[in-house]
Structure 1
């Protein structure tokens, strides 16, 4: 079975064996086709992806050669690499472009997206199951999406979209974990995220709630002050009203902060 991975360095696997995709243009081509997640990609988009605004004089021949080389490369890795279960080609040439057929079991980004969607759909009625689904989805990540490959706008846009989806999945996971009483377990992960270069007030809110529920009110308030300072120093802005409401709720021992209470009511 051939699998493709983009939630980290771009990889192609045939069973337990990794298939090396050599050359920046070959990797950019595969990255663009995978970024489309089984949807057609136009010739124009692929040319831009590979060469930007300066394609070679014979770009039609060059693109065809790169597609043929990529097809041969993944064809050689296994009998199924370039075919669907019914025997149809995996890398399909179309009148206006190309399409790489992948499914949820073939491409980690599709599996991630589907698992997160299922988790969000059941979070209200089955939070423990939702948490397991989210942890399974997040475990697919091996690093930065697409591994910062040299690529064009399609790969970059897909990477940014996936990174944003990863952040949302983490936010949903921590909300679910707070709901089912695992506040102490998530403090280390939340602290690492809050102290990372990325400024995310939602993670700060969740860490404040987790610390408060763990009997660490002073640390929760210190977390707020540290975020307020960073927002002022790095962006010149105040915390959002929601984050300020969390500080006020902690000072006033708001009922929404009680263990297993609906802490998300503080965002309303």
Structure 2
């Protein structure tokens, strides 16, 4: 069995899909899968499904949704996954069955490899990110608890992308990153980390003027949207790009300090 929440919800038995189509059943399944192997109290299930807009027969309705989910699971090779425990429900998954659990495992392995074996760390992060099939729980109605969970998963995905790009820059893969970073900057125009990484990849690819243009675009957007200026960190990187600082070159050793972090130490800005 395979279960998926890193995209549209998935319940796969070999290649056959058993994901529910009814919105509330799908929402309940998503809620239980994102808290797999944890007993979720009835009160939490009710809050997620209805918030404060409770139906008159809330408990019978919840039990009906559970009955339909169990009926669908009986058609699979794992019929007994939705279990009643005390005053709640638990959805049981085995190791390797849930994409979110695999994602977490690969991220943890990548953290152990960072700095020791960056090739391995980059590969593990790439494998973890490849599990994503779009926005987490795409197409699922979300209540107050799942909304927070979806936002959290989105942030974790973004952080994993940033770290993988950072490692790839350290490995000298700036040319290969240009297309991906251009897309990331277009999708997240106010994200300084992606812009900073894009600037470094452009500079290392011999496109100094384009790197400075990316900075000017970020500065304009921050001023227009929020009345803010770019952080001192990215301003120091911009100054180094203008000066052609050798510290921006690809590190000679994989375990070297991250290049863009060299500009975290205060120096005169002088950036216009």
- CA deviations 1:46-66 (Å, max 9, x no partner) are 011112212222211111121
Give the counterpart of 1:141 among 132, 137, 145.
132
Partner of residue 27, structure 2: 28
Runs of 4+ aligned structure 1 residues displaced above 4 Å come to: none
| 2:260 equivalent to 1:267 | no
Question: Which consecutive residues of structure 2, in runs of 5 or more, have no partner in the other structure?
Answer: 253-257, 266-272
Partner of residue 52, structure 1: 51
Q: Which moved more, 1:165-174 or 1:35-44?
A: 35-44
Residue 197 of structure 1 deviates from its aligned partner by 4.6
Residue 260 of structure 1 deviates from its aligned partner by 2.3
**How far, CA to CA, are the matches of 1:91 and 1:247 in structure 2?**
54
Q: Which moved more, 1:190-199 or 1:14-23?
A: 190-199
Partner of residue 101, structure 2: 110
**How far, CA to CA, are the matches of 1:28 and 1:172 in structure 2?**
31
* Alignment length (residue pairs): 259
Question: Which consecutive residues of structure 1, in runs of 5 or more, have no partner in the other structure?
Answer: 83-89
**How far, CA to CA, are the matches of 1:95 and 1:198 in structure 2?**
48
Q: TM-score, normalised by structure 1?
A: 0.92
| 2:248 equivalent to 1:250 | no
Give the counterpart of 2:205 among 214, 232, 244.
214
Residue 12 of structure 1 deviates from its aligned partner by 1.0
Q: Contact 2:19/2:26 (CA < 8 Å) preserved in 1?
A: no
Q: TM-score, normalised by structure 2?
A: 0.91
Q: Contact 2:7/2:138 (CA < 8 Å) preserved in 1?
A: yes
Equivalent positions of 1:43-122 (< 5 A) are 43-76=42-75, 78-82=76-80, 90-122=81-113
Q: Contact 1:184/1:210 (CA < 8 Å) preserved in 2?
A: yes
**How far, CA to CA, are the matches of 1:203 and 1:55 in structure 2?**
43
Q: 1:207 to 1:81 in 2, by over 3 A?
A: farther
**How far, CA to CA, are the matches of 1:253 and 1:51 in structure 2?**
58
Q: 1:126 to 1:250 in 2, by over 3 A?
A: same
**How far, CA to CA, are the matches of 2:237 and 2:36 in structure 1?**
39
Residue 267 of structure 1 deviates from its aligned partner by 3.2
